[in-house]
Amino acid sequence: MRYYENLVIVKPTLTEEEIKNTIALVEEVIASNGRKFCVS
């Protein structure tokens, strides 16, 4: 299995809640393609 890194850049003007929602959306897209999302 290959491991890949993903970097998500968000606007600095986003609130904490908006950042969390953006990360959740990215996780959902990754999971919907049968992949795992790990935070280190």
Which residue range(s) make up the domain with 23?
Answer: 1-40
Looking at the structure of the chain, the number of domains it has is 1
**Structure token pair of residue 5:** 């890194």
- Count the neighbouring beta carbons within 10 Å of the beta carbon of residue 35: 12
Residue-wise pLDDT tens digits, 1-40: 777 788 889 999 999 999 999 999 988 988 898 887 676 6
Its pTM stands at: 0.69
Q: How far apart are CA 5 and CA 18, in angstroms?
A: 22
**pLDDT confidence of residue 6:** 81
